[in-house]
Structure 1
Amino acid sequence: MSNTYVCVHVLQDVPPANLNRDDNGTPKQAVYGGVDRLRVSSQAWKRATRMHFRERMDRDAQGIRTRRLHGILTKALEDRGKDHEAAKALAKESLGTLKITPDRNNEAQSSYLLFAGRRQLEELADALAADGADAKSVDAAEILGSTHPLDVALFGRMVADMTQLNVDAAAQVAHAISTHAAPTQFDYFTAVDDQQEKDEAGAGMIGTVEFNSGTLYRYAVVGVEQLVENMGDREEAIAGIGQFIESFVQSMPTGKQNTFAAHTRPALVLVEVRDDQPVSLVSAFESPVRPRFEDGHSTGYMGASLERLARHHRSEAERWGDEPRLLVASYAASGNGDSALTEAFGESTSLPDLVTRVTESVSAGGRDG
């Protein structure tokens, strides 16, 4: 059986911001093409995508990543009629079969984080609360090990002590990097004390905040067959691909947003449905983009990046002689470079139409295959 991949490419400008910082408060960076680039980690954007799911999906259809499994399962058993001590003991014994033990300092917390479906936890509580049931008669690993919610199915789960609970991620998300050199900058700020006396000089507080700005290339890929296997339902998986595209494209990490309010939308969303292999287009930017000037006007980094991506995509398709099953894009008009975008990606469409065309293509491919 052939594998199908949904590749999502995004170009998005970010004004002064610090969306994802390291332990020193510095915006994360990477050296690529011999220059320092702005970087936003895959973990940051995967969490932002999951938070976007919360606003768009039923709570019961989502997963939860938490150390509070013992407390959650205890409360669920109490809701089903168990007294507190019996519920706590049953939760501890059941999770113990999965080698998930309570934290030494807080019995309501578990020894490590586990990513599980809310519906799976409710099913486990139902099974444990049934007449005559106990932790030994209920297969907790089976309940937590199949028919995963979208976020668990996409991003996977690794449990070192019990590999039966591992879930191979159906999605891979690249670290977003700027298409150009992007050195870190510093904002010197002062804060005035509102109760300061008239004859007092100086500020109540001074300091610096590091920030960066740039045009980012973002990339993610979903393996359709792996997602179907993880979720156990093809129709739900295909609908989940549409939700992933919407949430990945529209989400934004929350780092320092109260300081910078860097709420932007992508200038380009390009999606390919491929039957051969996942392909990132990041190599278009290995040579750092520089704005081009025509008639006294600059393309800016975004305009130059759009043109660069279009040329790279077209040349790579010719060089390798392959063609995706579907190529669909939504992009903003950029002026002089629009003809290159249309030639490479076709006419721009709305994001809802893009999602519909992708899910229809994936669905039709599954029936034909």
Structure 2
Amino acid sequence: MYIDNPAASAVVSGKEQYIMSTINRTIIEIHALETTAAGNLNRDDTGSPKTVEYGGVTRARVSSQAWKRPTRELFKELVDPNDLGVRTKRVVEELASRILERRGDLGEDQATDLAETVLQGGAGIKLEKPRKKKGDETDDDRAKQSQYLLFLGNRQYGQLADIAIEAADTENPTKTIKGDKKRIKQIVSNDRSIDVALFGRMVADDTNLNVDACAQVAHAISVQTVEPESDFFTAVDDNQRNGGEDEAGDAGAAMMGQIEFNAATFYRYANVDANRLQDRLGDVNATAKAVSAFAQAFLTSVPQGKINTFGQNVLPDLIVVNLRDTQAVNLVGAFERPVVPDYVQHATEALVRRQQDLDKAYGITPVKTWVVRIGDDTAAADALVDGKTTSLRDLVADVERTVADRLTQE
């Protein structure tokens, strides 16, 4: 077994015994401190930035879903799109389009019928007509949709399209497809798409098609107390002429309103269980690539909420990535007591103390640690790597090599 730090695998006793019994795992955990200026990255149903009460005070919060979305979008630039999935309710349209790409002579109506039969009659996914807009009395010829967002891989769509095309040339396509249920369900359940494996899939109609997520993403919370502020804005009509009879008393504001925002230093956390991911993907190199791509995408992605208004295009002040062979550990407890200015400096110091204290108390010293940092305020993190910090590019490449090496030797 590949070990960088033999002390991490030392035999211990008492309360540490259970934890150490899980050795031989390969888990990558990602911690980041990221400072944003004024912004509304993730808003609630009232339009206000999301918050959470933690440590007895109000913190800014960005939900895990809000950060998973841009992370998945970046995958398209980092891995082969064929290895990714599509999450949509318009599954019939998606499959019908794949059928038409292969057999344009079938026609749109026939392709749609075949897609519905494969998904509902073969895979057992319940479909329904999409809801009409209020007051719409026209005939609805739109294709049926799943009752929930369905996450299905591009390769799976291709294989299902092939089955539909095979059935199209038989005397009774519907009967042929329903007689092939076992193969269809196998195709869906054996989905090896990277993002499906990382983020999981829930199919209410058939739990056998569910996929447990190999990655966990926490809600990002601010390390300090944060109270939202409000920005009152106006917009001017470029063609308006001041002083007209219809515009008396109007100085030119044709629209006005307000937007709530905040500014904070966020603690972000995620982890990937590389062993479970390999079980799902079935290939060491594909797994290592998926882990490194997830790390890069998670660390460089930014939620898009109100981005044109606030331009929150930032990168982390500090990145700490640990490879553990025991269990993943969220270090959010470092900030149960809100830090005070300077936020990045004091948050870095708190994060380092938390990791060192947990490693010592529970015998879970990481097998390997990488640190990427900028500025003097993050200098305390050097203690985690004896001053040997790295760049994000080198971190991503080394994580991929190290994960591949460990999984090959386990």
TM-score interval (norm. to shorter): over 0.9
CA distance in 2, matches of 1:208, 1:261: 17
Matched, 1:328 2:370: yes
Q: Confirm whether residue 304 of structure 1 aligns to residue 328 of structure 2.
A: no
Please list every run of at least 4 consecutive aligned residues from structure 1 whose deviation after the TM superposition is greater than 6 angstroms: none
How far did residue 196 of structure 1 move? Answer: 2.0
> Per the alignment, in what secondary structure is the counterpart of residue 270 of structure 1?
strand
Contact 2:230–2:260, Cα closer than 8 Å, also in 1? yes
Q: Distance in 2 between matches of 1:238 and 1:137?
A: 38
* Partner Cα separation in structure 2 for residue 364 and residue 72 of structure 1: 38
- The superposition leaves residues 109-139 of structure 1 with CA deviations (integer Å, 9 ceiling, x where unpaired) of 3332210001110111113213557313432
The answer for the alignment partner of 1:235 in structure 2 is 285
Q: Is the 8 A contact 2:233 2:257 kept in 1?
A: yes
**Which structure is higher in helix share?**
2
Structure 1 residues 343, 80: CA separation in 2 closer, same or farther (over 3 Å shift)?
Answer: closer
The answer to whether the 8 Å contact 2:29/2:322 transfers is yes
Is 1:102 equivalent to 2:152 in the alignment?
no
From 148, 154, 163, give the equivalent of 1:118: 154
Q: Distance in 1 between matches of 2:213 and 2:375?
A: 35
More displaced stretch, 196-205 vs 173-182: 196-205
Aligned-partner residue type, residue 303 of structure 1: Q
State yes or no: 1:352 paired with 2:373.
Answer: no
For 2:70, which of 33, 48, 60 is the aligned residue? Answer: 48
State yes or no: 1:69 paired with 2:113.
no
Query: Could you tell me how far 1:94 is from its partner in structure 2?
Result: 1.2
Given that 1:17 and 1:211 are in contact with CA atoms closer than 8 Å, whether structure 2 keeps it comes out as yes
Deviations 1:229-268 (CA, angstroms, capped at 9, x unpaired): 2222221011100000000000001000011001100011
Cα deviation digits, residues 280-324 of structure 1 (max 9, x gap): 111100000001xxxxxxxx2112211221222222222223311
C-alpha distance in structure 2 between counterparts of 1:164 and 1:121, whole Å: 18
- Structure 2: where are the runs of 5+ without partners? 1-21, 131-141
Q: State the match for 1:361 in structure 2.
A: 402
Q: Which moved more, 1:216-225 or 1:103-112?
A: 103-112
CA distance in 2, matches of 1:104, 1:319: 57
SS at match of 1:39: strand
Describe the superposition over 1:172-210 as per-residue Cα deviations: whole angstroms up to 9, x where unpaired: 000000001011111111212212213253321221100
* Deviates most, 34-43 or 130-139: 130-139
**Structure 1 residue 147 displacement after superposition:** 4.1
Cross-structure match for 1:294: none
- Report which stretch shifted further, 133-142 or 342-351: 133-142
User: What residue in structure 2 maps to residue 264 of structure 1?
Assistant: 314
Is the CA contact (8 Å cut-off) linking 1:21 and 1:255 kept in structure 2? yes
Instruction: Tell me how far apart the structure 2 counterparts of residues 54 and 365 of structure 1 sit (CA, whole Å).
Output: 26
Quick one: which amino acid aligns to residue 102 of structure 1?
A: L
Residue in structure 2 matched with residue 297 of structure 1 by the alignment:
none
Query: What secondary structure sits across from 2:328 in the alignment?
Result: coil
Asked if the contact 1:310–1:345 (Cα under 8 Å) also holds between the matched residues in 2, the reply is no
Structure 1: any 5+ residue segments left out of the alignment?
292-299
CA distance in 2, matches of 1:265, 1:170: 25
Give aligned pairs, total.
359
Return 76-85 or 182-191, whichever deviates more: 76-85
Task: Determine which of 2, 9, 28 is the counterpart of 1:6.
Answer: 28
The answer to whether the 8 A contact 1:146-1:232 is kept is no
The RMSD of aligned alpha carbons is 1.7
Alpha-carbon distance in 1 for matches of 2:385, 2:351 = 10
SS in 1 for 2:152: strand
The secondary structure found in structure 2 opposite 1:204 is strand
Letter in 2 for 1:213: A
Provide the residue aligned with 1:27 in structure 2. 49
2:131 matches 1:91 = no
- Deviation per CA, 1:139-198: give whole Å up to 9, x if none: 221111114211111000001111111000000000000001011111111212212213
Computing the radius of gyration from Cα coordinates, the structure with the larger value is 2
- Report the TM-score, using the length of structure 2 for normalisation: 0.84
**Residue 129 of structure 1: which of 152, 162, 165 is its match?**
165
CA contact (8 A) 1:7 1:220 kept: yes
Deviation at 1:47, TM superposition (A): 0.7
C-alpha separation between the residues in 2 aligned to 1:65 and 1:206?
Answer: 37
Mapped to 2, the partners of 1:188 and 1:266 lie a distance apart of: 29
SS, match of residue 135 in structure 1: helix
Q: Is the 8 A contact 1:192 1:204 kept in 2?
A: yes
**Hey, what does 2:192 align to over in structure 1?**
148
* TM-score, normalising length: structure 1: 0.92
